[in-house]
Structure formats: C-alpha cells, structure tokens
Amino acid sequence: MPIVEQLAVPLHRFTGDDGAERTKWLQCGRIIENSSGKRSLKLDCIPTFTVDMAGNEVPFVGWFNVFPYNDKDATHDSNATKEKKPKPSRKPKPYKGSKVEVEPASDFVPDDIPF
C-alpha cells in the first residue's frame, strides 16, 4: 500500500542561515491508499503542543497539516524495512583509571559476621 500523503504539525519556527523564516515540522502520520482506492490514516504520534503563526507555543487542538508524500519510490511499502547503512566502527577510548588506592576487602570486613 503506497503512502500518498503525510501528516505534520509545525513544531518550531526559526530564522535560517540565509535569513529566511523557516518551520520545523513534526511528522505525525501518513495517509495510505490500498489497491481499491480506499484511504487509511496511520497516526504515529499525537503532539501535545504546536506553534502558531507568531511562533508561540500553543496547545494542540487536533488540526494536522497534510502534505504530498515526496518519496522517490511512489510504491513505498509502509511495512517494509529500510536498509540501514552500517555505522563506522569506533574504537573505545582507553580507560584512564583513577589514582585512588582501594584497600583489599579483608582489611575492613569484620570477622564476626554470622554466616
């Protein structure tokens, strides 16, 4: 079932590097169309707040923005797993132990413990 549209809410308004006003969107779900043409709505999350046109945080009241799905593959299967690129392996940093000396356990454990 291909995804035909995506649901989003404005999360944050900011000024970009070029000085233009930009909006960060929270992707909340998608609209999927089956082979018979019927559409289904899949919600991934329901936000607790959004931002108004002035950039102020306001409580979420149930309105989503709907955008065309812009994946290069129009027959994207929502159940298919995407191939993940392997992360480059990093060697752990060597442990730099503390210079605190610890006494052996036999020096501070009393001998009269009844077990």
What pLDDT, in 10s, does the model give residues 30-53?
999 999 999 999 999 999 988 888
Note the pTM of the prediction, 2 decimals: 0.55
Strand order in the sheet with 65-68: 39-43, 21-33, 3-15, 65-68
- Which residues, 6+ apart, have CB-to-CB distance to 106 below 8 Å? none
Structural element, H or E, at residue 105 = helix 105-108
Contact by Cβ (8 Å): 60, 50: yes
More confidently predicted of 72 and 44: 44
